[in-house]
Amino acid sequence: MKLEGKTCLILYNTQGSAGSTSSVINDDSFDSLAESRDEVQIIKKFLREFGLTVRVMGIQRINARIISKIEDVNPDFVFNLCESLYERSQTEMYVAGMLELLRIPYTGNPPFALGLALNKMKCKQIFDSAGIPTPSSIVVPVGETPNVENLTPPYIVKPVREDGSAGITKDSVVETQGEVEKLIAIIHKEYNQPAVVEEFIEGREFTVAVVGNPPRVLGIGEINFSTVPKKEPKIISYKTKWDAEKPLDTIFPADIDASLKNRIEKYALKAFQAIGCRDYVRIDIRVSENRRIYILEINTNPVVSPESGFEDAAKSSGIQYSDFLRELVLNTLARKKNGNSDIIDSYESVGV
């Protein structure tokens, strides 16, 4: 399929007042946020090199004015970089839903997978039913107290509906019921949502990039915890994830034997399909000291810029980052004739 002459609209979320209706469409420049969001500019550059006409639009909300602007552009497809609306990550599924209703093909996961993946407990229930190993856990609704007698310490406590390690700190791994209760009270108060109490798995942590339709593992990287102080748990907290000075790095390809690699790939692909994903995801996995594999979370809307690790994942599989993007664009355009309605019955496809 030739890409020359086709138009792509890059949608990304801006920040500011939720009541604002500001947006921008411009061929040559970005607003102040776009200048700070490197992935917008990087992806725009690659798409133009493919011969596409690229337009850019930053949004904070969905209303008639926004929809009218999108229809004025009349894109062949949307490159969806929206991570939130109204500055709430739980709303990212609404952007995909809007594009479904407009029958505009878009990159990334469909609304159901986006919404489901933001509920850690629902995902874990699906994993359990599909025979996909995940740490034992309980969910504690707002206003209730936990009963952890059926869990084995240490525990890790986190909000049930957040991403980007929000709500996770170096103090999130604890040993006692009392400590669990204190952390849950904080989550209930600060996030106004249930908390998940999960058995903490000591061991190595891996990130798995899964791409394509049908899916394949693009690369497996291992989180390097060498910069984490010895007295702190080896976890990806909000601080270690977003610390500009000392961020955790990921080593691609992970130094693992063929047997472990095959098992990680098997469960990552099953998780991808069990949640109903498409195009790309990042899956977080722990491997215990006795080599048992546990799926922690699935990120259905990860950053896909080179700096996010997708370039390293691609190189570890012997392909260029530009080839990954081109394949993504071609798969998205192929959905145009079907109006996005090509979601596979994933349970049948993997036999779960």
> Using one digit for the tens of pLDDT, what is the confidence trace for 338-348?
555 444 443 34
pLDDT of residue 36: 46
Question: Does position 19 have pLDDT exceeding 50, yes or no?
Answer: no
> Using one digit for the tens of pLDDT, what is the confidence trace for 227-275?
888 899 999 888 888 775 667 889 999 999 999 999 999 999 999 999 9
pLDDT of residue 216: 96
Give yes or no: residues 149 and 257 share one domain: no
Domains: count for the chain: 3
For residue 334, the SS3 value is helix
Which are the contacts of 101, defined by CB distance < 8 A and separation ≥ 6?
none
Q: What is the mean pLDDT of the chain?
A: 88
Which are the contacts of 208, defined by CB distance < 8 A and separation ≥ 6?
217, 219, 220, 221, 264, 265, 268, 282, 283, 284, 285
> Using one digit for the tens of pLDDT, what is the confidence trace for 123-133?
999 999 999 99
Give yes or no: residues 223 and 298 share one domain: yes
More confident residue, 323 or 306: 323
Q: Which residue has the tokens 């979601």?
A: 343
pLDDT of residue 168: 92
CATH (domain of 310)? 3.30.470.20
Give yes or no: residues 23 and 72 share one domain: yes
Q: Is residue 242 one of the residues assigned to a domain?
A: yes
pLDDT of residue 245: 66
Give yes or no: residues 152 and 165 share one domain: yes
pLDDT of residue 164: 82
Give yes or no: residues 346 and 207 share one domain: yes
> Using one digit for the tens of pLDDT, what is the confidence trace for 152-175?
999 999 999 888 888 899 999 999
Q: How far is CA 184 from the centre of its chain?
A: 24
Q: Is residue 83 one of the residues assigned to a domain?
A: yes
Q: What percent of the chain has pLDDT over 90?
A: 74
Q: Which helix (H) or strand (E) holds 251?
A: strand 249-251
Give yes or no: residues 190 and 213 share one domain: no
More confident residue, 238 or 19: 238
Give yes or no: residues 262 and 312 share one domain: yes
Residue 16 pLDDT level (bands cut at 50, 70, 90): low
Starting at the earlier edge strand, list the strands of the sheet with 77-81: 24-25, 53-59, 7-13, 77-81
Q: How far is CA 175 from the centre of its chain?
A: 29
Sequential DSSP letters for 271-327:
HHHHTT--SEEEEEEEEETT--EEEEEEESS---SGGGTHHHHHHHTT--HHHHHHH
Q: Is residue 116 one of the residues assigned to a domain?
A: no
pLDDT of residue 351: 40
Give yes or no: residues 243 and 328 share one domain: yes
Q: Is residue 261 one of the residues assigned to a domain?
A: yes
For residue 245, the SS3 value is coil
pLDDT of residue 167: 85
Give yes or no: residues 209 and 314 share one domain: yes
Residue span of the structural domain in which 64 resides: 7-106
Give yes or no: residues 146 and 73 share one domain: no
Q: Is residue 185 one of the residues assigned to a domain?
A: yes
Give yes or no: residues 273 and 343 share one domain: yes
Give yes or no: residues 93 and 20 share one domain: yes
Question: Does position 349 have pLDDT exceeding 60, yes or no?
Answer: no
* Average pLDDT, integer, range 221-228: 93
pLDDT of residue 84: 85
Residue 14 pLDDT level (bands cut at 50, 70, 90): confident
> Using one digit for the tens of pLDDT, what is the confidence trace for 20-71?
444 444 433 334 344 447 789 999 999 999 999 999 999 988 999 999 999 9
> Using one digit for the tens of pLDDT, what is the confidence trace for 69-113?
999 999 999 999 999 888 777 889 999 999 999 999 999 999 999
